[in-house]
Amino acid sequence: MGFNVEEIKKQIEDGKTVLGIEFGSTRIKAVLVAEDNTPIASGAHDWENRLENGIWTYSLDDIWNGLQDCYKNMTEDVKNQYGVTLVKIGAIGFSAMMHGYMAFDEKGELLVPFRTWRNTITGPASEKLTEVFNYHIPQRWSIAHLYQAILNGEEHVPSIKYFTTLAGYVHWKLTGVRTLGVGEASGMFPIDIATGDFNEKMIAQFDELVADKGFPWKLREIMPKVQTAGEAAGTLSAEGAALLDPTGTLQAGIPLCPPEGDAGTGMAATNSVAQRTGNVSAGTSVFAMIVLEKELKKVYDAIDLVTTPDGSLVAMVHCNNCTSDLNAWVNIFKEFAQSMGMTVDMNELYGTLYRKALEGDNDCGGLLAYNYFSGEHITGFEEGRPLFVRTPSDNFNLANFMRVHLFTALGALKTGLDILLKEEGVQVDEMLGHGGLFKTKGVGQRIMAAAIDAPVAVMETAGEGGAWGIALLASYMLHKEDETLAAFLEKKVFAGQEGTKEEPRKEDVEGFDLFMKRYSAGLGIERAAVECLK
């Protein structure tokens, strides 16, 4: 694998590269890949959601300014490394954090501010739809947002001509095509695995449910088309090219793959689209996905069913909170070090503190923490309060303090995964880890292996994340021969890749189970904190 600079330069000039751009919750990232699918340039733009009128949102200006800045940074990286200007690209793919709600009128104007996945404001809708469909509809799914807006009597609802997700919106504006990849679509509305499309029976049930409202639309009319990995999903229009690159350098006419969600791109980037594989993405939020061999026996609140980009059923446990509290504590140590006159390298600080956790007692010495910055549906919280608590006799030292914050980062996740692995008997051969939690070699991996009692692998490319994942899906569309997505990834992307695998250690697994007993028993403390700290 790998080309020399002259070869890469020629591929860039000939338009043989592929670009993936992903809108994550804290950064927008672009990754350009060569013909062998290895990353050759990247760019990023940091952004933050904001709480406005009780809604977590990003403005349209945030979206477009962020996209343009991210793209510009990537083209500057190309120029700096290879001395060439990026004019044409072989294919492009867009992905974004899944779910949420963007509704548009007939002029294509946004009717209400974008409601992101992070909002927990659709409880009644989620419950009612789960009951009607007999299928778990999480609060963050687009259909729950739509139905909640109907229950609230919001005046914009009759005017809806199209509703979609962030990835679907960006793709539509750049191509004119109203479509979603099946993985992303599975976070809007349930998918029928047999047809690879939205579930027709449930669409009819929804229309019947809201028939008395007399809306001028039927559900199917206002939803995107569903496509599977490898299909063509339109080309970059002249307006789209100008939106992406206001300098006018980028040529229109570039093919785009179906837009996907961060779940699907995570599966692609970790080579876990085949059955019995799984991956866990641990950053601001955390989700784990296992590709199932068959349907689950029951409907569970804690388990979402989505699909791989090529349409296999996936059980997903998604938690709102993961590393935010951990990062906040690391920043306290940074402030301390700076107050002592030390210069601090953040990678070294993270590495030192994370490795320290491995010296702690198996069960964290009795300490307890909750990392809830926001609500956590798996444990039944609408709001969160980060919390650290101990008894006077607990073994309170730095190693246990760091260990408990690493454990609790996966506490809600383990609650959900235990349903799959212990109650449903789902088999998983290995989980692939990616995201910030796994940056310090061996630590996050070992903690995760303890939580799920299964091997956890981290690939060398894990840091590339979802932007690389969507680039791979665009590359599959462009280069696929008569092969499945799993075969393409196995042979043409990951062949010969070195990764590290961490087997679960008995004492860690037992320690994590002890911690979880304390975690479950202490949820009342977290509830009291939410009540008392308004």
Residue 383 and residue 388: Cα distance in Å, rounded?
16
Which among 507, 351, 357, 499 is positioned nearest to 432, based on CA atoms?
A: 499
Instruction: Kindly provide the residue ranges of all beta strands, DSSP E only, lying in 320-476, ordered along the sequence.
Output: 368-370, 374-376, 381-383, 387-389, 430-434, 456-459
The pTM score is 0.82
Q: Which helix (H) or strand (E) holds 63?
A: helix 60-82
Residue with tokens 């343009």: 68
Nearest CA among 192, 174, 173 for reference residue 182: 192
| DSSP helix/strand/coil, 347 | helix
Per-residue pLDDT of the chain (534 residues; tens, 9 = 90+): 567 899 999 999 999 999 999 999 899 999 999 999 999 999 999 999 999 999 999 999 999 999 999 999 999 999 999 999 999 999 999 999 999 999 999 999 999 999 998 888 999 999 999 999 999 999 999 999 999 999 999 999 999 999 999 999 999 999 999 999 999 999 999 999 889 999 999 999 999 999 999 999 999 999 999 999 999 999 999 999 999 999 999 999 999 999 999 989 989 988 899 888 998 989 888 989 999 988 899 999 889 899 999 999 999 998 999 999 999 999 999 999 999 999 999 999 999 999 999 999 999 999 999 999 999 989 999 999 999 999 999 999 999 999 999 999 999 999 999 999 999 999 998 899 888 899 888 999 999 999 999 999 988 765 568 899 999 999 999 999 999 999 999 899 988 777 889 999 999 999 999 999 999 999 999 999 999 998
Answer yes or no: are the C-beta atoms of 64 and 114 closer than 8 Å.
no
Token pair listed for 455? 């091997």
